Amino acid sequence: MKYKIFIFFIIGILLYVIDIGLNSYDEKEIYISDQEIISLVSAWKSQVGRNPTDDEIVRIINNLVEEEILYREALNLGLDQDDKIIKRRLAQKISFLKQESIVDNPSNNELLDYFNNNKDKYFVEPTFTFTHYYFSNDNDALERSNEAINQISNNLDVSSDPFFLGKNFVDVSLNSIKSDFGENFATYFNNFKINEWSGPVESAYGYHIILVINSHDGYYPDITMVLKQVEIDLLQSKRDKAVSEYLDNIKSEYKIYINPNLQI
């Protein structure tokens, strides 16, 4: 048994030696493919607008050869090691490749997946219809609004201030309430009472006594209603994420060591 393993080992070494013998790779030999020359000549042509003369072709090839020689010598000297410019250039090269590989026309499944994963983007916000009494910060707002809520419960008339953006708000979204009254005020609508005067609720401008008359719950629309938008968003996100996804995938293959004791 032992011998058999040994035989395989010897065959392996033999194969390796034969391989080296057949494909002897000499660092001092340069092969230039037809393809390379043709592509350089056509680039030259499109830049200059005519075919290069024989002299010029010689020059193009010489340049290529010299570039290759300098490149190899630089590698021999280890100049590619730890060069930030080269690192970044290569990093950018691959990120462009990844970005450009995005194909248009997503499939139905892709669209559905994207929609399901980003449902909140398409959430139709709840809306509210309400009226209010406003008490300006410039004029004892808190005191007067507390008084007002008592007056209302006793069916007395309330004397309030006119609010800049009006008294009655019909079918307005939470975002527009935020923009008209401020974040603080909008939190009232997370837990509001319907058809019941309540407050005082503080806004950026003073205090309010609010009566919510009507509200519509928010809901998630069917994908068919927002299909066009989903398609637009999906393509955009694919372009944005191409690089980061690639990076995330490949990151797991690396082990990363950083000195935890480094003092900066």
Partner 1 sequence: MKIIKKLVIAFVLIYLITLGLVYVDVYDSRPIVSLFKNFQSDSSLDIVDFSVENKKSERPKPAPNKNRNPYYGDLHVHTKYSFDAYVFGVTASPDDAYKYAKGEGIKHPLGYEMKLREPLDFYSVTDHGFYMGMIQAYADTSTEISQNDFAEPFHNINRLENLTVESAGQRSNIFSSVLGATIIQPYPDWHPKLLMAYLTRNTQLALKSFDYDIHKSAWADIARSANEHNDPGHFTTFIGYEFTTSTDIEGGNLHRNVIFNSSEASIRPWTRIDSTNPEDLWTWQDRLREKGVDTIAMPHNSNGSNGQMFEMETFKGNAISKEYADKRMRNEPIVEITQVKGTSETHPLLSPDDEWADFEIMDVRVGSRPPTYSKPSGSYVREAYLSGLTLDFTKQGNPYKFGLIGSSDTHTGAGAFDENNYWSKVGLLDGDPENRGSVPLAEENIDRLTEYMQAFNQPLSTVDLEQGTYANTGFTQWGASGLAVAWAEENTRESIFNAFRRKETFATTGTRIAVRFFGGYDLSSIDLNSDSLVSESYQKGVTMGADLMQDDDKIPEFIVWAKKDKNGAPLQRVQIVKGWIDSNSGRPKEKVFDVACSDGNEVDPVTNRCPDNGAKVNISDCSITDNVGSSELKTLWKDPEFSSLDKSFYYVRVLENPTCRWSTWDAINRGYQPREDLHETIQERAWTSPIWYIPNASDVDVIPLGGTIQLRTID
Residues of the shown chain interacting with partner 1 in the complex, contacts defined by CB under 8 A: 46-47, 88-89, 92, 95-96, 122, 124-125, 127, 136-138, 161-162, 164-167, 170-173, 175-176, 179, 181-182, 203-206, 216, 221, 225-226, 228-229, 232, 236
Token digits of residue 81: 């090691």
- Burial grade of 256 (CB within 10 A; 0-12, 13-18, 19 or more): exposed
* Minimum CB distance to partner 1, residue 150 (Å): 21
Q: How far is the CB of 236 from partner 1 (least distance, A)?
A: 7
**Half-sphere exposure in the Cβ direction for 176 (13 Å, CA):** 11
Minimum CB distance to partner 1 smaller for 72 or for 121: 121
Minimum distance from CB of 92 to partner 1 (Å)?
5
In the bound state with partner 1, the residue whose beta carbon lies nearer, of 63 and 184, is 184
Query: Which pair of structure tokens corresponds to residue 208?
Result: 């309010």
Q: 193, 211 in Cβ contact below 8 A?
A: no
- Cα–Cα nearest to 125, from 168, 165, 177, 194: 177
- β-strand 198-202 against 127-136: which pairing, if any? unpaired
Q: By C-beta, is 145 or 203 nearer to partner 1? A: 203
Q: How far is the CB of 170 from partner 1 (least distance, A)?
A: 4
Closer of 72 and 93 to partner 1 (Cβ): 93
Least Å distance between CB 215 and partner 1? 12
Q: Which is nearer to partner 1, 131 or 198 (CB)?
A: 131
Closest CB 171 distance from partner 1, rounded Å? 5
List, in sequence order, the alpha helices (H) in the chain: 2-22, 34-48, 54-76, 84-100, 108-117, 141-153, 174-181, 183-186, 227-251
Q: How many CB atoms lie within 10 A of CB 32?
A: 12
Residues 122/226, Cβ–Cβ less than 8 Å: yes
Task: Give the 3-state secondary structure of residue 124.
Answer: strand
Q: What would the two tokens of residue 27 be?
A: 């660092």
Nearer to partner 1, 12 or 166 (CB): 166
